[in-house]
Chain A
Amino acid sequence: MRALAFKARVLFATRFAEMAEYRAEVVIWMLSGTLSLVMMLVWMAQAAAAPGGQIRGYSAPEFATYFLSTWLVSQLLVVWVSHELDFQIRQGTLSPQLLRPVDPMWLHVASHVAERLVRIVPLLVMVGLFTWLSGASFTREWWAYPAALGLAALGFSVRFLYEYAIGLLAFWTESSASFQEVVWLVYAALGGMFAPLAFYPEWVQRVAVWTPFPYMLGLPAQLLAGKATLAQAGRGALVLLVWLAVFWVVRLIVWRVGLRKYGAVGA
């Protein structure tokens, strides 16, 4: 147990030092994910031009709140592990990591968590700035914040595991990056980055509720905007837990099978 705590501390401390070194890049990465912000501006202009100043009950400031919230949550869900695995497996730099007495996955977990800590300060500054510019107003119910954070943490874990599994596809194919891109698009679409899920065509909504995406992105955003209840958050958390279990097993199987295929100098 003490050995485990020691490993965790060392892993985390080294990753944090590394990420603090990359702080300028972290800010640039943050600014490159602009889809939510673009959609925010478009919907705000749409609402302002609509008769009554509303579309489906959303006024311009409400759109601003929703999309800023999705932007904030999506920043917490950022995962780049599949790129890294793709590189490590093709170049063979995975090999030295296999010699360590811990599953390499935890190295990546530590990186991501450490990066989140570096990200949080500029992130909050930017959210504050955008809130002021766009007239967004977040909910005043205190419980919404821990609930949204909890869902985001679960969502991050789910996303991390499936992205990890996609990255491991590099054991077999050179196109794992393309798969990653497609999955990102599905995540963005069904997560509600283009509009709140209720705006989507009926059949898309029916498909979406079976996927984890609306619960990791759209739901926490709606919580922050004050448009979702605690009961909905609880149900979302249950769905995410089920997906978490599924992807945990999937990742483990892909890892075990893939490792047997790995030629150590690059797949």
Chain B
Amino acid sequence: MRRYLRLVRIFVGATLSAQLEYRANFLGAVLASLGEVGVALLGISILFGQPGVTQVGGWSFREALLVTGFFMLTEGVISVFIQPNMSKIAEAVRTGNMDFTLLKPIDAQFNVSTRNLNVLRFPDLLIGLGLIGYAASGLEVTPGGALAAAVLYGSAVVIVYCIYLGLSTTAFWFVKTQNVTELFSGVFGAARFPVAAFPVPVRFVLTFVLPVAFITTVPAQALTGALGGGLALASPLIAAALFLGTRWFWRYAVASYTSASS
């Protein structure tokens, strides 16, 4: 365990020093982050700006803003921690560089999942947290609610990571998996609104088929105290099941890896 913590420190140091070479990009990245939050806010304010609309699917503006905050935060988590690592799996399989990863005396899944960071998108995390803080400041939030939200958001991050890893692991068989993660981003776009804002059949799909509801809606509900016990329990269970499932899938994929020349 101590060894892995030390490795994380080394990885972070290495990726930071590599990216600080391109400091000038930071400005562009900040611009992109601001644009993204601006558009997210425009979307939600148009929705609530119509005459006679005070709530969407039973959610007030502040509550929906909370969901937008969790959406931005998750976008940040994906682009800072998850995407930079997962996008390299397919590349490594294609070029055969996966050999080096597998030869190292540490867990290969740990290595491919933590090696890289995209610090340029760090502002996304701050913007997401800022939005959540702003939205929550106008709502009644109990300490218990905040704690539950934090825990449930943790399992949301695990769910997102597992979906990404599962999709990227298919690279061991299909080389062009970059596109499959695109598909996830497409579905994830629905997470910018509470699931209650969708028609009933879609709501069902977003909760039980594609676990989008657990990523943004459930933590937001936990924060406002509107969450039922069933969903609160389901989220960590799904996260755990997905984690074990992708772990198994990853090992299975690595076992059938035959390097690049074959």
- A residues sitting closer than 8 Å to B (CB atoms) are 25, 28-29, 31-35, 38-39, 41-46, 48-51, 55-56, 173-179, 181-182, 185-186, 188-189, 194-195, 199-201, 204
Contacts and interface: CB of A to CB of B under 8 A. Distances in A.
Majority-rule SS of B interface residues: helix
B190 A178 contact: no
Contacts of B29: 175, 178
21 contacts: A28-B183, A29-B179, A31-B186, A34-B189, A38-B192, A44-B199, A45-B57, A45-B197, A45-B198, A46-B47, A51-B52, A55-B53, A173-B25, A174-B24, A185-B39, A188-B39, A189-B39, A189-B43, A194-B42, A199-B46, A200-B42
B197 A31 contact: no
Given A48-B199, A181-B32, A56 B25 contact: no
Interface string B214-247: 0000000000000000000000000000000000
B202 A41 contact: yes
A32 B186 contact: yes
A56 B47 CA distance: 12
Contacts of A44: 199
A175 B186 contact: no
Interface string B52-81: 110011000000000000000000000000
Contacts of B202: 41
B180 interface: yes
A175 to B, nearest CB: 3
A187 B39 CA distance: 10
A69 to B, nearest CB: 18
Contacts of B193: 38, 42
Contacts of A39: 43
Interface in B124-177: 176
Contacts of A56: 50-51
A46 B197 contact: yes
B191 to A, nearest CB: 9
A179 B31 CA distance: 8
Contact of A175 (B27, B39, B187): B27
Given A25-B179, A182-B35, A32 B27 contact: no
Contacts of B56: 42, 46
Contact of A185 (B25, B36, B52): B36
Most B CB contacts (10 A, CB to CB) among A28, A48, A200 go to A28
Nearest to B49: A201
A189 B47 CA distance: 13
B183 A175 contact: no
Given A34-B190, A38-B193, A39-B43, 14 more contacts: A28-B179, A28-B183, A32-B186, A38-B190, A41-B199, A42-B47, A42-B56, A42-B197, A55-B53, A174-B25, A175-B24, A175-B25, A179-B28, A189-B42
